[in-house]
């Protein structure tokens, strides 16, 4: 399947009560993929099922544009209002590092996290997936959620990581959807332009096909004409030869 993997995504930050108090950021797309995620808990309680959710990891800057911020968004293609996200700045990462016994620094962390998510993708469809992403929803509406990656070996479940996530409220989902709309409008415009370019090239190529076909026809006719002209001269010469042969015969007779 033809997929368009943009290298950056829009993120809308700031006070979402008006557009003036918000700001748009272009964050680098480090990861943007559907991952099978086991969704657990939530107000419904015990329900637990594996869903294909989109995990997006974005590296951007904070409001002051001085510190790097890592954002992780978990969304669903089948539910536009489904939005769980977390963000951690380079500074905040220090406490996360201690809390989660992480041995790598802020800059190495995304790659390691992506490796774990790729393991989950690779385990897709397995009856007992070795690596499984788990999104644990809060017990009450609006409670924090948590995204983790669990490895299951013959001995035990091994939690590789567990990050605190926030479920989206109307304001944050509004910000997220507005940013996605900007992304997808950009993608649409790229495809529209590409289509325009391809259509132009197609028009030129079709004209070239016609020109080449006309040239081939002209050459075919030229070949036929040349053959006909040659044949005519041959016929003429053959007649001339015949005449001189007859004359010679006449001469020998006399």
Residue the block writes with tokens 């809308």: 12
Which one of 63-71, 110-118, 127-135, 218-226 is the stretch in contact with a second copy (CB under 8 A)?
Answer: 218-226
Reported for 131-134, long-range contacts at CB under 8 A and 24+ positions apart, including other chains, are 131/160, 132/36, 132/38, 132/50, 133/35, 133/36, 133/37, 133/38, 133/55, 134/37, 134/38, 134/40
Residue of 65, 107, 240, 242 that binds a second copy (CB under 8 A): 240
Write the DSSP assignment of 115-152 as a string of letters.
HHHHHHHHTTT-SS-SEEEEEEEPSSTT--EEEEEEEE
Please tell me whether residue 143 binds a second copy under the rule CB under 8 A.
no
Which one of 31-39, 51-59, 149-157, 174-182 is the stretch in contact with a second copy (CB under 8 A)?
Answer: 174-182
Please tell me whether residue 18 binds a second copy under the rule CB under 8 A.
yes
Which residues between 22 and 51 bind a second copy (CB under 8 A)?
22
Q: Which residues bind a second copy (CB under 8 A)?
A: 2, 4, 12, 16, 18-19, 22, 79-82, 169-171, 173-174, 177-178, 180-182, 184-185, 187-188, 191-192, 194-196, 198-199, 201-202, 205-206, 208-209, 212-213, 215-216, 218-220, 222-223, 226-227, 229-231, 233-234, 237-238, 240-241, 244-245, 248, 251-252
């Amino acid at each position: 399947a033809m997929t368009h993997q943009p290298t950056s995504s829009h993120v809308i930050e700031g006070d979402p009560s008006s557009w003036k108090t918000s700001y748009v950021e272009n964050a680098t797309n480090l990861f943007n993929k559907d991952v099978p995620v086991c969704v657990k808990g939530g107000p419904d309680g015990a329900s637990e099922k594996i869903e294909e959710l989109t995990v997006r990891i974005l590296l951007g800057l904070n409001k002051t544009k001085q510190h790097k911020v890592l954002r992780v968004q978990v969304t669903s293609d089948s539910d536009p209002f489904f939005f769980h996200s977390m963000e951690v700045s380079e500074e905040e990462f220090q406490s996360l590092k201690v809390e989660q016994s992480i041995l790598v620094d802020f800059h190495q962390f995304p790659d390691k996290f992506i490796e774990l998510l790729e393991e989950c993708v690779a385990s897709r469809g397995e009856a007992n997936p070795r690596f499984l992403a788990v999104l644990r929803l809060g017990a009450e509406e609006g409670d924090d959620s948590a995204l983790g990656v669990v490895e299951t070996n013959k001995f035990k479940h091994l939690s590789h990581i567990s990050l605190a996530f926030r479920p989206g409220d109307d304001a944050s989902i509004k910000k997220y959807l507005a940013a996605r709309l900007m992304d997808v409008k950009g993608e649409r415009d790229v495809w529209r332009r590409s289509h325009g370019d391809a259509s132009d090239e197609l028009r030129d190529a079709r004209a070239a096909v016609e020109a080449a076909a006309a040239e081939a026809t002209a050459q075919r006719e030229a070949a036929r004409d040349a053959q006909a002209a040659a044949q005519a001269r041959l016929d003429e010469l053959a007649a001339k030869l015949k005449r001189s042969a007859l004359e010679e015969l006449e001469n020998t007779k006399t």
